């Protein structure tokens, strides 16, 4: 074998191959495998002893068209990138996280771990190219939301719904248009920004900082204008985010919730009952937008999935309902104030069906209220 990993001309859908050289050349190094990840636009590389390497493309694991790697092979690959101190730490603890840069833009988050006595490796590519709103099929209102200079912007949805990618598009908009300092705390870093008008520092939990809580606690000493907190995981992180918004910063974060109004309920669940009034006041004063997002299969097989969003913007009615504990009525506010840029989830589903972007069956499966959506798709206004 040669030490260069490439795509085979006849590789199926898409498999990979290590090109054959003359004679018996050395086996490919880790750089060869990592280059392949980038060349086929894969997100992850997986190496396991006595197994053919795999990459993740479009959510699916694909087997490389090459030989299985022995445990000795994988340990050789690992030793290529570890310092003696890192190698000692891995041998002592059985796992190791590290960030690895092949060049200025091609970076990976690598986890090396022991399983059944053998060494495995998982490498996540930190995407060097950030897609824009049009490429992501997101509505124009997100561009308007990213123009605000202070407050809290939340992305809600389940894991894998594209929240981090949407935030990345909004941060890239700010990066291209405003001379500000952006600090991110992420676990893991998924997109690598290149400074444009903005000055950006990215911190990864487990590599650059010990925990979300400690990193968020030190944020205000880093002179940020815009803050990205990868996920609201606990009360302390949320309190820090709200305090940052209250003191004039623009804060982006994500939270697990099944709707934009549901994000309010989820936030309150993190706090004891006697603090709910205080948190409601803080949210009503500082919340700029909550965007709920869900990925739905697309009729165009080249696109695969498109985001369906629900957008709740700051307005007098939203502030009033949050203060009064009427979260269950916020969906009606979204519908009644569509003209301000708010988006009702069923409205967007119906629009995508009408434009033949998604199938009606998929829309009904994704809808929180399928009966209402059926009426909407028949042209019956249920407002």
Q: Which tens digit of pLDDT belongs to each residue from 82-128?
A: 999 999 999 999 999 888 888 877 889 899 999 999 999 999 898 77
Q: Which CATH architecture has domain 5-126?
A: 2-Layer Sandwich (3.30)
Tell me: pLDDT of 382 over 80. Answer: no
pLDDT of residue 160: 83
Tell me: pLDDT of 208 over 60. Answer: yes
Is the separation of the CB atoms in 166 and 266 below 8 Å? no
pLDDT of residue 12: 34
Continuous segment of H or E residues that includes residue 152: strand 151-156
pLDDT of residue 30: 93
pLDDT of residue 189: 84
Tell me how far CA of residue 258 lies from CA of 129, 165, 243, 347, in angstroms: 29, 18, 25, 16
Tell me: pLDDT of 227 over 60. Answer: yes
pLDDT of residue 9: 31
Confidence of residue 140 (pLDDT cuts 50, 70, 90): very high
pLDDT of residue 24: 40
Using CB atoms within 10 A of its CB, is residue 195 exposed (0-12), middle (13-18) or buried (19+)?
exposed
Tell me: pLDDT of 7 over 50. Answer: no
pLDDT of residue 214: 87
Nearest to 229 by CA among 260, 207, 203, 247: 203
Tell me: pLDDT of 8 over 50. Answer: no
Q: What is the mean pLDDT of the chain?
A: 89
Tell me: pLDDT of 321 over 70. Answer: yes
What SS3 state is found at 309? Answer: strand
Q: What is the pLDDT of residues 284-309, one digit of tens each?
A: 999 999 999 999 999 998 888 999 99
Mean pLDDT of 168-192: 94
Nearest to 325 by CA among 372, 270, 374, 279: 279
0.95 exceeded by pTM: no
Q: Is 3.40.50.300 the CATH number for 133-343? A: yes
Tell me how far CA of residue 268 lies from CA of 212, 255, 264, 323, in angstroms: 20, 12, 6, 12
Query: Where exactly are the structural domains of the chain?
Result: 5-126, 133-343
Tell me: pLDDT of 6 over 80. Answer: no
Q: What is the pLDDT of residues 241-267, one digit of tens each?
A: 999 999 999 999 999 999 999 999 999
pLDDT of residue 211: 85
């Amino acid at each position: 074998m040669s030490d260069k990993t490439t795509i085979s001309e006849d590789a199926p859908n898409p498999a990979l191959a290590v090109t054959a050289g003359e004679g018996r050349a050395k086996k490919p190094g880790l750089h060869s495998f990592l280059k392949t990840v980038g060349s086929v636009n894969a997100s992850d590389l997986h190496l396991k002893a006595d197994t053919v390497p795999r990459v993740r493309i479009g959510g699916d694991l694909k087997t490389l068209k090459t030989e299985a790697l022995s445990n000795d092979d994988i340990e050789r690959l690992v030793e290529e990138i570890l310092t003696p101190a890192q190698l000692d730490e891995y041998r002592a603890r059985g796992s190791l996280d590290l960030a690895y840069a092949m060049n200025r833009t091609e970076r990976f988050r690598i986890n090396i771990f022991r399983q059944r006595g053998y060494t495995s490796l998982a490498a996540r590519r930190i995407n060097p190219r950030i897609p824009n709103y049009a490429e992501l099929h997101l509505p124009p209102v997100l561009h308007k939301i990213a123009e605000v200079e202070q407050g809290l912007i939340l992305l809600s949805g389940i894991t894998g719904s594209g929240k981090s990618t949407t935030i990345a598009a909004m941060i890239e908009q700010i990066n291209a248009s405003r001379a500000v300092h952006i600090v991110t705390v992420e676990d893991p870093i998924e997109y690598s920004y290149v400074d444009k008008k903005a000055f950006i520092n990215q911190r990864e939990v487990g590599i650059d900082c010990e925990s979300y809580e400690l990193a968020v606690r030190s944020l205000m000493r880093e002179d940020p204008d815009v803050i990205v907190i990868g996920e609201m995981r606990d009360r302390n992180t949320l309190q820090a985010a709200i305090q940052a918004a209250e003191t004039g910063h623009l804060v982006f974060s994500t939270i697990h919730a099944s709707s934009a109004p549901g994000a309010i309920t989820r936030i309150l669940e993190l706090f004891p009952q006697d603090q709910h009034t205080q948190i409601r006041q803080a949210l009503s004063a500082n919340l700029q937008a909550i965007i709920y997002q869900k990925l739905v299969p697309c009729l165009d097989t080249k696109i695969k999935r498109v985001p369906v969003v629900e957008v709740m913007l700051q307005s007098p009615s939203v502030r009033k309902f949050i203060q009064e504990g009427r979260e269950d009525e916020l969906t009606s506010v979204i519908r009644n104030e569509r003209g301000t840029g708010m988006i009702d989830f069923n409205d967007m589903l119906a629009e995508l069906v009408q434009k033949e972007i998604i199938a009606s069956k998929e829309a009904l499966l994704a809808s929180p209220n399928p009966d209402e959506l059926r009426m909407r798709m028949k042209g019956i206004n249920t407002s």
